[in-house]
Structure 1
């Protein structure tokens, strides 16, 4: 059999298509490469986007906004000292972009102006923190991308 240009082109196309098919199949079936980068209810979250903007604007109007710091015990979220802690309600949602199984939500329950997220619940790496809280009927929102 004689090898000519036509045969070479056909072999190259078949090889390229085989490589692409192998790549697509292996990427879709390998669980180690499965990353959930969006939340389950992103359509619902999109509808609430204007409310989030209003809540963030309320947070910016505070004389002092929330702050956080990393300690050996975990993450400490500090609420403004000028606010009465009994009137603060809401929840804290920590979102792990690389794996949704580590996402969790906790209610705000304060005995002083600090809220501790324990170290045992957090892995090293990137987290998105979202504190949705209310004070005297007014809603506030604090969002931050953090590295723990």
Structure 2
């Protein structure tokens, strides 16, 4: 049996389309390739963008800023000594861009003007830390990226 150019091209296209469709179905059906949205309710989140920028600017304008640092014990959030610890309210979102199953919130409860998030709660890799806090009626938002070893 002899195959001419036209038949060969059709067979090549059919094999290529089969190859592509196989990978599309594999990615959609296998939970290993989880392709969720980065943020739930994206448009609702985006509508509050200007308010978020104002809180970030408030945090940027501070003379002494809180620090978010990774150490051997875990993530340490330290506020300057001139802040009264009992007047600071808010929460910290630790967001894992690669897998939302590891995301978690924690309330800001300071001891000696610092908060420690233990290392055993954190998986190795990149973490986005969003700290939403309020002091004397002013709202602040501090964002940091940390890498856990």
Output the CA distance in 2 between the equivalents of 1:111 and 1:6: 77
Q: Give per-residue Cα distances to partners, 1:27-79, cap 9 Å, x unaligned.
A: 11111111435121222211111111000110111111121222222110111
Q: What TM-score, normalized by structure 1, do the two folds share?
A: 0.95
Aligned counterparts of 1:70 and 1:2: Cα–Cα separation in 2: 68
The answer to whether the 8 Å contact 1:69/1:76 transfers is yes
Q: Distance in 2 between matches of 1:111 and 1:2?
A: 82
Q: Secondary structure at the match of 1:140?
A: strand
1:126, 1:35 → 2: CA distance?
A: 18
Does structure 1 retain, via aligned residues, the 8 Å contact 2:59–2:140?
Answer: yes
Alignment check: 8 A CA contact 1:35 1:98 kept: no
SS at the partner of 1:32?
coil
Partner of 1:6: 6
Q: TM-score, normalised by structure 2?
A: 0.94
Alignment of 1:83-102 (within 5 A): 83-102=83-102
CA contact (8 A) 2:70 2:146 kept: no
Q: What does residue 27 of structure 2 align with?
A: 27
Name the count of aligned residue pairs: 148
Mapped contact 2:68–2:144 kept (Cα < 8 A)? no
1:31-110 to 2 correspondences below 5 Å: 31-110=31-110
Identify unmatched segments of 5+ residues in structure 1: none
Could you list the runs of 5+ residues in structure 2 that have no partner in the other structure? none
| RMSD after superposition | 1.2
Aligned counterparts of 1:3 and 1:122: Cα–Cα separation in 2: 60
Paired residues of 2:108 and 2:115 also in contact (CA < 8 A): yes
